[in-house]
Amino acid sequence: MLYLMPMSKILIGAIAAVMMSTPALADRLTLDRVFASPSLSGSAPRALSLSPDGRYATLLRSRPDDLNRYDLWAIDTTTGESRMLIDSKKVGSGAEISEAEKMRRERARVGGSLGIVSYNWSPDGKTILVPLDGDLYLASLDGSVQQVTHTAATEVDAQVSATGHYLSFVRDQNLFVIDLKNNQEQALSQDGGGSLTWGSAEFVAQEEMSRTKGHWWSPDDSRLAVARVDESQVHIVTRAAIGANGTQTYQQRYPMAGTPNAKVELYLMNPDGSKKVKVDLGNNDDIYLARVNWSPDSQSLYVQHESRDQQRLDLLKVDSHTGQSQLLFSETSKSWINLNNDLQILKDDSLIWASERSGYRHLYHWQKGKWTTLTQGDWMTLGVVGLDQKKGLLYFLANKSTPIEQHLYVIDYHHPSEPRQLTEAGWYNNAVMDKGANRLLIGRSNTSQPPQVYLADTKGKRLSWIEENKLDARHPYAPYLAEHAKTEFGSLKANDGKRLYYKILSPKRVAGQKYPVFIQVYNGPDVGRQVTQGWTSPLHQYLVSKGWIVFSIDGRGSPQRGKTFEEPIYKAMGTVEVEDQLTGLNWLKSQDYVDAKKIAVFGWSYGGYMVQKLLQKAPGQYSAGVSGAPVIRWDLYDTHYTERFLGNPAFDPQPYQKSDALSDALKLSDPMLLIHGMADDNVVFDNSVALVSKLQEGDKSFEFMAYPGETHRIAGEQKQRHLWHMIEKFLDRTTKCRE
């Protein structure tokens, strides 16, 4: 999955770090302050969760003196008492984690973070499992911490079983189980190693399918479903991690578009490894194991598997003892199917299912072959949050009121009617719920309030603040609040009449004065919408304080607007979404407060690719472009992401040739700054190397900055400052000072 770097999912990745500091000049925001601790956005916790019984809220908080280091905190939802459960500086060895774990963290978008980067409640709610420095720890609510593993190897994919009886994990590519009653450890597989792994998700499952698990416990702990991943047919690429102190090379199995994928099989076994049977997934092994879920009674396994072309998704019901399967139903598409995590298996063996069959993702109730539509309309459901089977209530997120906001809704799935909105208008909300659907943790922000978290009842009423993050005199952002630029929203019509939403931040305009524009672009599928009612990065505010107008527009191909909005890029990346960005550019140039000769464009990852395509498509229309970690050749990217949108190049290479950013690279005539991390395993450094070579051969002028040792996210306060000081100087030279 591509992701935005410095500012969009840069807002989620690099720019998650882009919100920080201590004022150098009173009331005057500086780049150095933007990147320093504490965060200008205040306390913005990660990994919000509720204990299974709803008694405790847990989260990861960064330290006031180190915005990249996280500790585990717990809040008693009854008393409001807040305390640190695990101090990451006091627990753990500080040992270097393995390269595989580093890459796993990159795929989880927590690369570069220190301390505790993830945790999981045990299903019985008695302990919290914390991986730290390659080992596993169990934290109790009384503050005690037990180190469970003590090995040089890194344990990954760790889980506490459903009843709390067992702890399972993968070490050296084999699956292990520890009986927590007697601390006896047992290997459930012995042949893992080399190209074979038991119990972990393969690369594309982690990177592109949002499936991080490779084994699944039944609700009664009697059986385990375990993935067996054979990568022997996957091409080996030599990945160079070029660092400041030398270059390390890694032989990595990487399934580039058009090449063989890993062969993934699924087995069922007892916790001691006995009574192992293979699950019948059909005769075609060139498929994706998309999702695995257990039935409440532990008798059945529900498996979603997807065809290689991603145009068919089958739901299988599997007997947990024999491995025999039956097809319940299939979803099909003429373009591609977007996976989701919304399957809910009810006690009566009926299902809640999400589908885009109407053109928008909506929820359905399936019962013995009969479908009941639960939601409908030209809006999308965006994730099931909770299920109350006693009352027949289903809680979910959706953008029903407007595409730029996200709200929590509830519906009676036995008697569906208009969904009831539980969150306040004017905010972008996320939510998690406890297992019993008794309490909600709601995280929200808007363009004038940084992220907040509160505890709510099932009607959405706020019971208490978990993290109010109030913008008062004590808040890190307080010295700059008076200069905070308001975000304005609007919409334009694309060439075919589709509505395109934009946002714009401006300095206080003076009549008759024209301003330079900084355009932030992503516009890729799957992730990365930028035009939302969420907190705007302080980096944007800094740019406005320096006289820039900051502008973004989400064009076709962007997610969460329905399939008819996404699908025009099918086998045609770099076409319609480029035209939509140019629609935004033309609108800007028509505004009397915009200096039409001073409009620069910035993007990272897919956004970096878009910068290349925009400069090629419209030479002379932008004053400059900054292209970070761009995809230049789509055949260098992985199977699941790329083939979803461009098809399989082994059968039809034309869409790849038309969509790449290399063929027309010599059309470059505007100033361009290219940036890439030299250890990037997402958009590999080879992409920029190919572009640099082509531009040099064509005697084209450009500027280039490579970051040794950095991956897809340029991490750390110092390097972030270096990155943005460089970008600012480049834009001042090429755009601000342009005659």
- CA dist., res. 178 & res. 171, Å (int): 12
The rounded distance, in Å, linking the Cα atoms of 587 and 593 is: 12
CA pair distance 503, 540, nearest whole angstrom: 12
- DSSP string covering 296-316: TTSSEEEEEEEETTSSEEEEE
Residues 532 and 419: their CA atoms lie apart, in Å, by 22
| CA atoms of 715 and 729, how far apart (whole Å) | 20
Angle, CA 677 vertex, CA 676 and CA 682 arms, to 5°: 95
Which of 215, 365, 540, 712 is catalytic? The answer is 712
The answer to whether 455 touches 466, Cβ cutoff 8 Å, is yes
Which of 314, 342, 680, 681 is catalytic? The answer is: 680
**Nearest Cα residue to 291 out of 205, 202, 383:** 205
**Helices and strands: H and E segment counts in the chain:** 11, 44
Using alpha carbons, select from 78, 79, 145 the residue that is nearest to residue 116.
145
Distances in Å between the alpha carbon of 238 and those of 121, 361, 685? 38, 40, 12
Is residue 625 within 8 Å of residue 708, measured between CB atoms?
A: no
Distance of alpha carbon 728 from alpha carbon 313, whole angstroms? 46
Query: In one letter, which amino acid is 585?
Result: L
Q: How far apart are CA 1 and CA 603, in angstroms?
A: 16
Beta-carbon count within 10 A of 662 CB = 17
DSSP percent split of the chain into helix, strand, coil, nearest 5: 15, 35, 45
Contact status, residue 453 vs residue 467, Cβ threshold 8 Å: yes
Q: What are phi and psi of 312, to 5 degrees?
A: -145, 130
Catalytic (active site) residue 680: yes
- The single-letter code of the amino acid at 658 is K
Query: Would you tell me how many other CB atoms lie within 10 Å of the CB of residue 491?
Result: 13
What does the block give as tokens for 450?
Answer: 């940084």
Continuous segment of H or E residues that includes residue 224: strand 224-230
Closest CA to 197 of 209, 214, 213: 214
Per-residue 3-state assignment (H helix, E strand, C coil) for 584-602: HHHHHHCCCCEEEEEEEEE
456 backbone dihedrals φ, ψ, rounded to 5°: -135, 160
**Active-site hit among 605, 623, 627, 688:** 605
- Is 676 a catalytic site residue? no
CA atoms within 13 A on the CB side of 326: 3
- Residue 193: strand pairing partners: 196
Burial, 553: exposed, middle or buried (Cβ in 10 Å; 0-12, 13-18, 19+)? buried
- Residue among 49, 75, 51, 72 nearest 60 (CA): 72
712 is catalytic: yes
3-class SS at 695? Answer: helix
CA 34 to chain CA centroid, Å, is 23
In whole angstroms, what is the distance from residue 614 CA to residue 529 CA? 18
Angle between helices 576-589 and 606-617 (to 10 degrees): 70
Active site residues: 605, 680, 712
